[in-house]
Structure 1
Amino acid sequence: MVSSPDAEHHDDVGEHGGRLRSFRHERGNWASYVYVAFRPHEELWEMLDELKSVARKHGVHLTTAEEIHVSLSHTVILRHHWIQPFIQSLREKLCTTRRFLCVADLLKVYVNKEKSRTFLGLEVARGRQQLLEVVSGVDLSLQEFHLETFYQNPSFHVSLAWCVGDMAKALQGACLLELQRVVDDFEDSDVLTRFYADTIYCKCGNKVMSIPLC
């Protein structure tokens, strides 16, 4: 069972590095999202350090992402009693989905809807069609609970680092070209930027549930 959150919660942006919640915390509501895990090799952190160093030269101070994954849904609100039925629905929709290889080697800059955070991510090239098929199943489950479905034409990506505010302009152009060269020239980058989608995860609050693919 998932434990209940505190009855009252004061959201202090200082506790989140200046980040803002996009919705109000309420008792019995669970911020939830579906994703594929990306399990980085140790050398990826070396590459990321180089990327952060390049970004600093262009006036952008990036923070390493706490959770590195590929999102397959927006963050939605699940009521406590919806969680297990929602997970069961996901299992049914994805029961025949086979595991597959993904390669994410193209750097892109993303800004969230609120313009409060900017992300540096690696876009998935190989494996995109399979991810779209997974999202179709996830969307069906979301629709059963009258929840928002994912983007119509998503850019699947692994978010490596972020900063507060809309810093897209500073990271584009010459900066992005220099950042991409770091990835392209990094030893074993072809290994660091590939991963297998063998399990779909759903995180509800601080609980993570897994759905293995066949």
Structure 2
Amino acid sequence: MRKPAFTYLCRMLVGYSSSSSEEDGGASGEAAAATQKKNCCPKCQEEDDGNNGCPARKKIKTEEQAPKTRLPLPDCLLALFPDEVDPQTEDGSLHGGRVRSFKHERGNWATYVYVPYHPQEEFGELLAELLSAAGTCGVVLTPQEEFHLSLSQTVVLRHHWIQPFTQSLRTGLAHCKRFVCSAGKLRVYCNAERTRTFLGMEVCSGHVQLLDLVRVVDRSMTEFQLDTFYKEPSFHISLAWCVGDLTAQMQECTEELQRMIDEHEGGPFLLRLDCTELRCRTGNKTFRFPLEA
């Protein structure tokens, strides 16, 4: 009696298991697939997680031979070392007609040393009057985007020289003192290529201290075999410029413009320049060198 009953009970359990598998939507099948996937090699699991079985060896070999895609470089790095010169940088029509003193080449950085000038409101008003008066004389001037007093010529610096060159400047300027200089006399300047003419205001005090700074800058220039500053420099702050050599035309109206400066608000206007630091601009980088108080 026990044996038939046991057999009947086993048959019932098997039937219940099959029925449960169908009602559960193949849960036992998924468990089996999971077990089979677990037994596959790790390489198969990584490359074909969506399959229930291991992919064919031929497919694995093909995928392994596919070339790897390189991650693109960030834009900030590409901007630092461009492969080619942007044609727009050489187009003078996009820069008010200005022409480069030397052709841009990869790895060459236009470099110069200067003292910055931060104009006050009074200076801006006077400059607007000067440009208007120059326009009535037939000379159309464009104001400088920023104002400074140059202490070096514009030279070409190789990229790998930037760090040692700026360190040389920092060492030489470490013990130079701050001072104040002033400017009040208009002068006309033209660059060596005769491609631009400038209206500048020449320094009338602080000349000795500026020469001391130039000697320090010249030592660094000589160390890297670069051109030193002019032997008899006319220290000045450029106010405005125009394209071409218009020296003669501008000098004709300089006397009238100087009178406007001398009679500005009842007394001569003096441009005051606080020399608290030097700066070196090379390419798109600017280095600052504070002077001792």
**TM-score normalized with structure 1 length:** 0.95
Q: Aligned ranges for residues 1-214 of structure 1 at < 5 Å?
A: 4-9=80-85, 10=87, 11-173=90-252, 175-187=253-265, 193-214=271-292
Q: Name the structure where helix makes up a greater proportion of residues.
A: 2
1:100, 1:202 → 2: CA distance? Answer: 19
Q: Rg larger in 1 or in 2?
A: 2
What is the CA distance between 1:78 and its match in structure 2? 0.9
**1:4·1:27 contact (CA, 8 Å) conserved in 2?**
no
Task: Give % identity.
Answer: 53
Give the CA deviation at 1:190.
Answer: 6.1
**Structure 1: 5+ residue runs without aligned partners?**
none
| C-alpha deviation, 1:81, in angstroms | 1.1
Cα distance in 1, alignment partners of residues 233 and 125 from structure 2? 28
Q: CA deviation at 1:7?
A: 2.0
Residue 73 of structure 1 contacts residue 138 of structure 1 at CA under 8 Å; is this kept in 2?
yes
Answer whether contact 1:44 1:192 (CA < 8 A) is retained.
no
CA separation of 1:57 and 1:80: change in aligned 2, threshold 3 A: same
3-state SS, counterpart of residue 149 of structure 1: coil
Tell me the number of residue pairs that the alignment of Structure 1 and Structure 2 aligns: 213
Between the aligned partners of 1:80 and 1:202, the Cα distance in structure 2 is 14
Higher mean C-alpha deviation, range 185-194 or range 86-95: 185-194
Query: Take 1:171 and 1:12, find their aligned partners in 2: how far apart are those partners?
Result: 26
Maintained 8 Å contact 2:98/2:243 = yes
Structure 1 Cα separation of the partners of residues 182 and 266 of structure 2:
13
Paired with 1:192 and 1:202, the residues of 2 have a C-alpha distance of: 26
Deviation per CA, 1:105-142, whole angstroms, max 9, x where unpaired? 11100000001000001001101111111000000000
* Separation in structure 2 between the aligned mates of residue 145 and residue 188 of structure 1, nearest angstrom: 49
What displacement does 1:182 show?
A: 1.3
CA deviation string 1:185-209 (max 9, x = no partner): 2238767601111100000111111
Once residues 269 and 108 of structure 2 are traced to their aligned partners in structure 1, the CA distance between those partners, rounded to angstroms, is 39
Report the 3-state secondary structure (helix = DSSP H, G, I; strand = E; otherwise coil) of the residue aligned with 2:265: coil
Query: Contact 2:182/2:270 (CA < 8 Å) preserved in 1?
Result: no
Higher RCO (CA < 8 A, seq sep 6+): 1
Assess if the C-alpha contact under 8 Å between 2:276 and 2:291 holds in 1.
yes
Q: Distance in 2 between matches of 1:123 and 1:13?
A: 28
**What is the aligned-residue RMSD (CA, Å)?**
1.7
Return the alpha-carbon distance in structure 2 between the equivalents of residues 212 and 116 of structure 1: 34
Q: Distance in 2 between matches of 1:191 and 1:49?
A: 14
TM-score (norm: length of structure 2): 0.70
What secondary structure is seen at the aligned counterpart in 1 of 2:240? strand
Counterpart residue identity of residue 145, structure 2: E
Query: Is the CA contact (8 Å cut-off) linking 1:43 and 1:192 kept in structure 2?
Result: no
3-state SS in 2 of match to 1:46: helix
What per-residue deviation string (whole Å, max 9, x for no partner) do you get for residues 125-184 of structure 1?
1011111110000000000000000100000100010000111101114x1111011111
SS at match of 1:187: helix
AA matched with 1:100: F
